[in-house]
Structure 1
Amino acid sequence: MIRLDNISKQNGHQIVFIEAAGALLKGEKIGLVGPNGSGKTTLFRMVTGRELPDEGQVVVERGVTIGYFSQDVGEMAGHSAVAEVMEGAGPVSVVATELKELETAMADPDQADNMDTIIERYGEVQARFEELDGYALEGRAREVLAGLSFTQEMMEGDVGKLSGGWKMRVALARILLMRPDVMLLDEPSNHLDLESLIWLEGFLKGYEGALLMTSHDREFMNRIVTKIMEIDSGSLTSYSGDYEFYEAQRAMNEKQQQAQFERQQAMLSKEIKFIERFKARASHAAQVQSRVKKLDKIERVEPPKRREVVSFDFLPAPRSGEDVVSLKNIHKAYGSRTIYEGLDFSVRRKERWAVMGINGAGKSTLLKLVTGAAEPDNGNVTIGGSVKLGYFAQHAMDLLDGERTIFQNLEDSFPQAGQGTLRALAGCFGFSGDDVEKRCRVLSGGEKARLVMAKMLFDPPNFLVLDEPTNHLDMATKEMLIKALADYEGTMLFVSHDRHFLAALSNRVLELTPDGIQQYGGGYTEYVERTGQEAPGLHPN
């Protein structure tokens, strides 16, 4: 369906592709992987014709429809989420818009004199709408939006009033409703809660077209793709299998290449020693010449390209008392909406609670109550002795001084730390080289999140409260964070939609349900076993 024939591409001074080749065949589901900045988005843009390769060609079969979801959703305003999603479905959306306008006109007393014309036109447009299967389309649009956690009210409301994350979901819903022959999805798992993520997983598994996607969520990628295409140093390499298979295969290939390289180096060293030893002796001249020629002909084995593995040894957290936080008879409402009515909950030292619940169940509210970012209407929140609390919330990114650079921000927070230590810390969270000189006002949401996380974990508190800490983090940074937190001696209370993060770090689950709270020992893995579901609100498997 789509072929990449020896494409080369340069962006400024950066060489992105050198004679790279690959293909996406009918029905294939491929995960596109590679370090940040390796050219994943550039590849998508070339497939959709938004950019051209400098050399080679991208061949798309005639008549193949492509749907492309990117992080840049553009402006949306002026009509409902349903209308916006249906607009992606082509001609039927134009007819739907006219139908809505005519319905409004029919209900307008000022249009009484034109009513016969309006009603006649309404009949014609309605017939055309039915012919295009418009009513079924609207039903499907609502189904997709519901799968992505939209309420009926949000579907009907002005799309312009939604936050950036919800607009992303609308843009994604447009592509899903369109059901093109080929879907290109650039980070579709960003901004989704666990329920939406699992719904999308099911949708993509049942999708019969070809799929090429990137994702920082390894569990999501593992369950959907059957092939991995890796961008590395300008070339494309394909691996048959899921992400886990790719990781194992890549590690094995590197090991074999390293062994080959070392064997060849040992042989070369031996030959060079012989040549050096006997080159001045006439009696060995023929042998020396023969070996020199042999060395000239040998094809040199390159050592495997070393991926930079980010790791950082965080300082040990000071010990807290056994009782970390206690909530007694908590009542909390926002206007007429009651979130908690008599909530009792306590956290003890070294417990790692994952908080779960459907949208609006009060997950973030619980974290705010614990950290003092919100006050209960009634009841008491008591923090235990010697507790040093660290709170990661999405709004923390707004508190960074925009005029200070990344490095200055770290220096302001840790004036006693050496430059090398702070550069190592920045490197762990994806800021290498000149990146540390970027001013905070130009940072993306993901970069800000990484900087806030770095500041919090450099001098770790003994009680970490984390609200969606892995949003925007790439796989390498996420792995580093999981490894660091696995060795962390303190207590944790967190909300996350990343199942790898949940399974690796929780040893308790608090599920918020309309009937009260449920507590599970043994963490997320046991929660799944006990309930038969991966997230609240989903039907058991």
Structure 2
Amino acid sequence: MADLIGWGEPLRALERIEQGSCAQDDFELLADRWNLRSDLADLLAEAGLRLDPHVPVSTLSGGQLTRLRLLALFARPAHFLLLDEPDNHLDASGIDWLSQQLARHRGGYLLVSHDRRLLNQTSHILELSEQGLQSARLSFDEFLAQQAEVQAARSTSLAQAVRSEKAAARSLQKVREQAARRASQGRRERGSQAKILLDFKAEQAGKSLGRVLDRHERGHSAQVEARTEAAAALAAVQPLIMQWPEEIERKGAAQPLVITAASHVRWHGQRVDLVLQRGERCLLGGRNGCGKSSLLQMLRGVLEPETGSFRINGKMACLDQGLSLIARDLSPLANLLTVAPTLAESDARTRLAGIALRGDRALTPCHGLSGGERLKLGLLMVLAQLPDLLLLDEPDNHLDHPSRQLLTQVLADYPGTLLLVSHDPDFVAGVGVGKELNLSE
């Protein structure tokens, strides 16, 4: 740990001096920082890392490692920082600590995040989308309100464009019917008028009607184009679509999960007992490093409990932090059909289009997708499995605001049993969690 934040060499120099070293290099490395050990302990404790600085980084949880890396960055107060989703894997106290560090940092920063609490600390929002980079000197809440207004305006524009197109189509049809009637009338009159007079009348009528028909056809084409443009503009800001298949409503096990007297070294002597009834939603809580992911790995059969037992009744599906259910060398379409082999390809493409994986994007190997795109694909694959018990390890990581809203609604509609790890209280409340299991640190 000390090495990662740049304190490893001075700490080892101090230890060698304490053991009797008189080497000049050791004194130069230490640079008179005789309180280095206590200063380092205070620094780690402030970040919520009350651990021995010699602890190998490989033993840290995702949240602990994130805090340590951020600590190394904030140790450079004059630097402009580039922070790519630094809030991922952080618990509530970690988010608070990060918020305080950002407020103190004077060197400036560019923050990539989907956390409303952190984004509302900024006064300048840059949104990158298919339409390019949009800049707004607003708080994030103000920016979301502005986006909602844009979506409402574009919905109104599309509705008006659809009405105008229908009106133009009706007018064009009337002109075509009028042309057909005149043509029929002309054929009847051929037998009663002189050929020269008939040809003259037909020519004049044809020219006049042709101009009218041409004008209406151009008008209709323009309205079709306007409607297409309005639909494309709305699609750029329209919410994504994902929903549970109707088959999920089938009756499942009454108690999908039963944990009896389970223990693990990370739980510091705590024994876990948990029974989840069908339809219950349980939050698996605790600070970073307390063993939440370890419990989910036990349920998946990856780890064994030291004592106790687990019983899964019915079908279980899991979305872990590494999204291990996704084969990175396969396309989104192939991955979805792998877990749902009876699903028609057309239906699979429709579901992928609902999360903006259309056309060639549905056929691109998954290693080319963003973290958010892979997570939405993983959730789609979980939905297709129709699970009785759903395990989710921080599923709201990597998701932008619209995708997080979609995930919240999808999980709120899930009729099965849910065991969830998340550090976002708004997300937890939106999902409808009614039970909580806290693990000791």
Structure 2 Cα separation of the partners of residues 252 and 306 of structure 1: 14
Shift of 1:188: 1.4
The sequence identity of aligned pairs, in percent, is 26
User: Which structure would you say has the larger Rg?
Assistant: 2
State which of 347, 351, 364 in structure 2 corresponds to 1:425: 351
Structure 2 Cα separation of the partners of residues 322 and 165 of structure 1: 34
Which residue does 2:279 correspond to in 1? 350
Contact 2:283–2:420, Cα closer than 8 Å, also in 1: yes
Which residue does 1:361 correspond to in 2? 290
TM value normalised by structure 1: 0.59
- Please identify which structure carries the higher strand content: 1
- Please identify which structure carries the higher helix content: 2
Q: What letter corresponds to residue 456 of structure 1 in structure 2?
A: V
Which residue does 1:322 correspond to in 2? 254
Which residue does 1:309 correspond to in 2? 239
Which residue does 2:4 correspond to in 1? 84
Q: What letter corresponds to residue 309 of structure 1 in structure 2?
A: P
State which of 388, 392, 413 in structure 2 corresponds to 1:462: 388
Give structure 1 stretches of 5+ with no counterpart.
Answer: 1-80, 88-95, 282-301, 515-536
Helix, strand or coil for the counterpart of 2:287?
coil
Which residue does 1:107 correspond to in 2? 19
Structure 1 Cα separation of the partners of residues 69 and 307 of structure 2: 41
Structure 2 Cα separation of the partners of residues 158 and 379 of structure 1: 29
Q: What letter corresponds to residue 134 of structure 2 in structure 1?
A: L
Q: CA deviation digits over 1:419-448, x for unaligned, max 9?
A: 221122233445333233233566666555
Please tell me whether residue 512 in structure 1 is matched to residue 438 in structure 2: yes
Shift of 1:312: 2.1
Q: What letter corresponds to residue 319 of structure 1 in structure 2?
A: K
Shift of 1:512: 2.2
Give structure 2 stretches of 5+ with no counterpart.
Answer: 176-206, 209-228
Q: Considering Cα pairs closer than 8 Å and 6+ residues apart, tell me whether 1 or 2 has the greater RCO.
A: 2
Q: What letter corresponds to residue 494 of structure 1 in structure 2?
A: L
Structure 2 counterparts to residues 83-232 of structure 1, below 5 A: 83-86=3-6, 97=9, 100-101=12-13, 103-104=15-16, 107=19, 115=22, 118=23, 128-129=31-32, 139=39, 143=42, 145-153=44-52, 155-159=53-57, 168-180=66-78, 182-207=80-105, 210-222=108-120, 224-231=121-128
Q: CA deviation digits over 1:211-256, x for unaligned, max 9?
A: 432212234424x2344333452353314233x3211222224434
Q: What letter corresponds to residue 186 of structure 1 in structure 2?
A: D
Q: 1:362 to 1:412 in 2, by over 3 A?
A: closer
Structure 2 counterparts to residues 407-446 of structure 1, below 5 A: 407-440=333-366
Which residue does 2:270 correspond to in 1? 340
Contact 1:82–1:138, Cα closer than 8 Å, also in 2: no
State which of 306, 310, 320 in structure 2 corresponds to 1:393: 320
Q: 1:210 to 1:167 in 2, by over 3 A?
A: same
Q: 1:104 to 1:424 in 2, by over 3 A?
A: farther
Q: 1:167 to 1:323 in 2, by over 3 A?
A: closer
Contact 1:148–1:192, Cα closer than 8 Å, also in 2: no
Give the count of matched residue pairs: 390
Which residue does 1:252 correspond to in 2? 149
- Cα-Cα RMSD: 4.6
Q: 1:499 to 1:225 in 2, by over 3 A?
A: farther
Shift of 1:177: 2.0
Q: 1:324 to 1:165 in 2, by over 3 A?
A: closer
Q: What letter corresponds to residue 393 of structure 1 in structure 2?
A: D
Q: CA deviation digits over 1:289-325, x for unaligned, max 9?
A: xxxxxxxxxxxxx855532421123214222243333
Helix, strand or coil for the counterpart of 1:84?
coil
Shift of 1:354: 0.8
